[in-house]
Structure 1
Amino acid sequence: MCDRNGGRRLRQWLIEQIDSNMYPGLIWENDEKSMFRIPWKHAGKQDYNQEVDASIFKAWAVFKGKFKEGDKAEPATWKTRLRCALNKSPDFEEVTDRSQLDISEPYKVYRIVPEEEQKCKLGMATPGCVNEVTDMECGRSEIDELIKEPSVDDYMGMVKRSPSPPEACRSQLLPDWWMQQPSAAGLPLVTGYTAYDTHHSAFSQMVISFYYGGKLVGQTTTTCPEGCRLSLSQPGLPSAKMYGPEGLELVRFPPADTIPSERQRQVTRKLFGHLERGVLLHSSRQGVLVKRLCQGRVFCSGNAVLCKDRPNKLERDEVVKVFDTSHFLRELQQFYGNQSRLPDSRVMLCFGEEFPDMTPLRSKLILVQIEQLYVRQLVEEAGKNCGAGTMMQAPEEPQPDQVFRMFPDICASHQRSFFRENQQITV
């Protein structure tokens, strides 16, 4: 989804609220404005005043689009949301020895963490920077909300899921590769393009890595040129409309048994219950396509995704191009010409939680990383002689020329279209 507030960070928003002096008890703790107090009165107290004691929590719910006037008031849920956001954000740390929770007007104290301290905690950190989460910081009510795509009735009160992104942020819809003109074997035929040429197999293979709570729990390389289905198990009654063509390779989510935290393990298994139909993936020299079938929400990142600084929700039953191989190769040329950094070859799928956002990757329940095998090999080769964050010196024989010679039609500025023009998806 594309945040209507333009992806403004919690840090900026909260500083503005403190400086506004509009919320009783929300004040700076020190003159340096590096710590602040936030009121923390329990809703069950006799002197609890929702208009006063829950005002900052309500403001956060309004800002995030989780509450509007006329909805049922849920002060406990509002508080849980902001607490969860504070605990998960790398911008804040609770200062427990300054917090006062056993007085008549209780409050917590948080420190604003300088950005230089955060290192690889934010954004799309490399897999090596992802640490294992030891416990889930969100309340159970918020976890429940994140997991499941809503029915119409669920939109009342606090239960509000991500809306469809505005048109400016939506990827172009593509014809449904998996449903086009099925062959005798039940697999699609793509017309107007020679999909299975000399280099097709190199680009059709994908390296798929599974992360639970930021920890790598499984990795596999696909071999089926038609694509694969990420799911928990083989469907009992094959149905192309429900699960995709029968011939697709099945890639199973690893079991949650290895997750050390009991609570995280329990919530992950609950999320599994909404992933039955799974997600379809197809890789070719044009790029990577994804189609979400499952009930649970799925968010993504990749070089073909339009909104790179805010959550990108995959709409159910829509085919979206999340990685553009031609774009990657052009960026790789620029890298070899010392004009840019090494391009990112990864597609990330996040199940049940908004992504990308400011939450550390180690806090995400299920992340799946997808790379085209051949593109991954190009990245590894390019990185052999270059240190992190530095430019590689151009080799004696310029590598961009090698890329052009190998894939001239891919690197051309106007390559042939893999799909027919803008036809609607049929499912």
Structure 2
Amino acid sequence: MTDRNPGGRRLRQWLIEQIHSNLYPGLLWENDEETMFRIPWKHAGKQDYNQEIDASIFKAWAVFKGKFKEGDKAEPATWKTRLRCALNKSPDFEEVTDRSQLDISEPYKVYRIVPEEEQKCKMAAALSSSDVTDMECSPLEIEELIKESSPEDYMGIIRRSHSPPQDTVRTQPQPEWWPSTCLNSVQAMQDSSPAGNFNAAFSQMMITFYYGGKLVGNTLTTHNEGCRISLFQPPLANEMLYGPDSLQNIRFPPVEMIENERQRHVTKKLFAHLERGVLVRANREGIFIKRLCQSRVFWSGMCSQYSSSPNKLDRDAVVKIFDTARFLTGLQLYQEGQCPAPDPIVTLCFGEEFPDANSAKYKLIIVQITQMNCQQVLDAFNARRTNYSSGNLEISDESQNDQMARIFQDLCSYNGQPRPCFRENLPITV
């Protein structure tokens, strides 16, 4: 069988050798069958922490991977994070949480060595080993970094991705940034008629930023062509890397707005993965997104394939994250009292899996995208329901009701029947 995860196999072989060597206190087999093992897991903040002993296996892995050599500055938190991430990313290992003991004087974790037969169904999705893969940590791992590491420790945790050489870029054809269905709808937006002006209203989105659950900024989009959410204004004539120059550029708020020092440092290092950002466009069909950045991006909304588990955006693929027709169907059902109100908001989470067991308020970087036209319709519906239930319908704002009726009528005349939402995962055309 072809080895699709050579990095993981190296880790498996290396770790088994270290267990048999008996050189590392606390690293030993958990059972006689040698299918599970203990690995010491003492927190660096404990009073009896001894770096030479308690960090020895993590340091050995850093040396083996060429990430540390004698004479370099000791970074025990970074060493620990590297091995933890490698274990969690490798299909060869699975943590046995009910056997782990983290609240004792000599804490340890227990991992199971997963048989190859059990891995076959997962092999296609297994990630190949690389420096970047080693550092893609789970939310719990990032939280542990915040608790455990000092600011200087973060220097080795997340590395910046470099843009390809400019001469290579010039030899490649220009990409098509959006699928043809999205482009067709944009033509209607450019119509100067009243209907065209109404179509343009569908392009308005509110982009709201949260760092660690705290609101740090919001921006209303004004460009029909869409927007780019990134770290800085990209250089001109660099469409291959950053998308068309006509896009509205919306910048992540600066990390200096974060009060907690450790959270600020971790977020700053995550910023190193966000250089190219994401492209977002809204029209009458819905909201489309394309992830360009190296950072993993997860999303949640009424069109999510999974409501309670992570939905990952693939890099350089167009994904439809909001569907106008589906919102309309939900609005009709809501009006009839058959279901809760549809949500015109899509949530993006950068660098950490989302949604998951942790609340969004614990995430380092959250961006919410609100389809403003749909939000206004929903607000008008709610206002009308409130007036009706309170008996004040006769004194409600007639102009507002008329406006709501016109918007709703136009929504109903939307080209195409309401349909179940789907993900458009289209590869880039070159």
Task: Sort the TM-score into its range (normalised by shorter chain).
Answer: 0.5 to 0.7
Quote the residue 1:410 is aligned against.
414
Quote the residue 2:249 is aligned against.
250
Structure 1 342/146 Cα, relative in aligned 2: closer, same or farther at 3 Å? farther
Structure 1 runs of 4+ with >6 Å offset:
104-107, 140-151, 395-401
Quote the residue 2:319 is aligned against.
320
The number of residue pairs the alignment matches comes to 296
Q: CA RMSD in A?
A: 4.7
In proportion to residue count, which structure has more helix?
Answer: 2
Q: TM-score with structure 2 length normalisation? A: 0.57
Q: Structure 1: which 5+ runs fail to align? A: 1-42, 87-93, 108-135, 152-174, 182-187, 416-420
Given that 2:230 and 2:249 are in contact with CA atoms closer than 8 Å, whether structure 1 keeps it comes out as: yes
Higher relative contact order, chain-length normalized (CA < 8 Å, sep 6+) = 1
Query: For each residue in 1:303-332, what CA deviation from the matched residue of structure 2 results, as whole angstroms up to 9, or x when unmatched?
Result: 223222211111111011000011112111
Deviation at 1:207, TM superposition (A): 0.3
Query: For each residue in 1:83-110, what CA deviation from the matched residue of structure 2 results, as whole angstroms up to 9, or x when unmatched?
Result: 9xx9xxxxxxx9xxxx9633x7889xxx
| SS of equivalent residue, structure 2 residue 210 | strand
| SS of equivalent residue, structure 1 residue 265 | helix
Structure 1 386/45 Cα, relative in aligned 2: closer, same or farther at 3 Å? farther
Pairing of 1:134-153 with structure 2 (within 5 A): 137-139=143-145
Quote the residue 2:201 is aligned against.
202
Deviation at 1:339, TM superposition (A): 1.1
Structure 1 304/147 Cα, relative in aligned 2: closer, same or farther at 3 Å? farther
Given that 2:177 and 2:243 are in contact with CA atoms closer than 8 Å, whether structure 1 keeps it comes out as: no
Q: Is 1:67 aligned with 2:66?
A: no
Counterpart code for 2:145: G
Greater mean alpha carbon deviation, residues 347-356 or residues 370-379:
370-379
Structure 1 350/406 Cα, relative in aligned 2: closer, same or farther at 3 Å? same
Q: Structure 2: which 5+ runs fail to align? A: 1-21, 42-83, 110-141, 163-174, 191-195, 395-400
Q: TM-score with structure 1 length normalisation? A: 0.57
Given that 1:178 and 1:245 are in contact with CA atoms closer than 8 Å, whether structure 2 keeps it comes out as: no
Deviation at 1:301, TM superposition (A): 1.4
Counterpart code for 2:89: K
Q: Aligned equivalents of 1:57 and 1:247: distance in 2?
A: 54
Pairing of 1:293-312 with structure 2 (within 5 A): 293-312=292-311
Quote the residue 1:222 is aligned against.
221
Counterpart code for 1:274: H
Q: Aligned equivalents of 2:251 and 2:283: distance in 1?
A: 21
Quote the residue 1:378 is aligned against.
377
Q: Aligned equivalents of 1:66 and 1:347: distance in 2?
A: 28
Deviation at 1:333, TM superposition (A): 1.3
Given that 2:303 and 2:322 are in contact with CA atoms closer than 8 Å, whether structure 1 keeps it comes out as: yes
Q: Aligned equivalents of 1:145 and 1:401: distance in 2?
A: 57
Deviation at 1:198, TM superposition (A): 3.6
Counterpart code for 2:411: F
Given that 1:206 and 1:372 are in contact with CA atoms closer than 8 Å, whether structure 2 keeps it comes out as: yes
Quote the residue 1:360 is aligned against.
359
Q: Report the structure number with the largest CA radius of gyration.
A: 2
Query: For each residue in 1:153-181, what CA deviation from the matched residue of structure 2 results, as whole angstroms up to 9, or x when unmatched?
Result: xxxxxxxxxxxxxxxxxxxxxx9554879
Quote the residue 1:49 is aligned against.
28
- Match of residue 190, structure 1, among 174, 184, 190: 184
